[in-house]
Structures are given as structure tokens and as C-alpha cells.
Amino acid sequence: MENQLINFETAKLAKEKGFNEKCVSYYVLNYSTFKATKEAKNFSTPLENNKNILQLQNLSVGQPHLALAPTQSLLQKWLRDKYDIDILCIPNILGYELRITERIDNPYRIQYVKITGNNLFQHYEECLEAGLFESLNYIKL
């Protein structure tokens, strides 16, 4: 499976909810002279722009014009580790069914998070992206 980046809207929502893990790609948001772009940009390393060295960076409040674009699996892991939210894409003959659960108090008690909109998807990546977006919407800060 390839490393699928989250989409633009999910990246903006993840930034609002405090996602600040190390990533390779980012989206440029609408900020003064920058125009919003829906394409994730990779940035190169400052070490003589050597393409063989991978630069990982996290963005702080000091860069409000950028939103990190992590892979779907990295954001999924962050939601699981930080908020105890699990996103399940369950295959069936019609496609993939989305289920989102939250662990409460202990690892053996879970509750299902209400999912708005479509609950059945043609592809796994679509299902996971929808689950990430719904999970981020569920988080109250």
C-alpha cells in the first residue's frame, strides 16, 4: 500500500485540532501573500539541497500559513495515541464500511462515535480519509 497523503480539508482540520508531528509534506493555506493551494508540497533539505537526505519538520504556531500533510496512517496513529480514537474500515461485498470507536476509561470499554454522511465506500483509502475527517470533527477542544 502506498503512503496516501491526507487531503486539503483534513489537513486544515488536523492543524486546528493540534496535529504537529514530523512530516515531509505540507499545504500552503491562505495567508497574506500566499494563495491557498490544494496540492501538497514536498520541501527539500537545507543541507545543500541534497535529494538523498529526507527532511522531516514539524510546524508550530509560528507558521500559520502552512498545514502539515501527513500520510493517512500517521494521522490515524496520532488519533489513536492522543485521543484513543480507532478508525476501522471493514470490508464487505459492497465496499468498505466505516466504524469509528473511542476507548473510554480502560482499553476494554469502547463507544461508537456517530458517523454523519456516507458509511460505505468503494475504496479503502476513501473510507480511511472519511474516518479521519469525522474523527477530527468529533474532537472537542
What integer pLDDT is reported at residue 110 of this predicted model?
72
Q: Which of 20-34, 71-85, 89-103, 112-126 has the lowest mean pLDDT?
A: 20-34
Q: Is the pLDDT of residue 136 over 50?
A: yes
Is the pTM higher than 0.75? Answer: yes
Amino acid identity of residue 97, one-letter, is E
d(CA 139, CA 136): 5
For 91, phi then psi, to 5°, come to: -75, 140
Q: What is the mean pLDDT of the chain?
A: 78
What integer pLDDT is reported at residue 46 of this predicted model?
44
Closest by CA position to 132, among listed 83, 76, 78: 76
d(CA 135, CA 116): 11
What integer pLDDT is reported at residue 111 of this predicted model?
78
61: which 3 cell numbers? 504556531
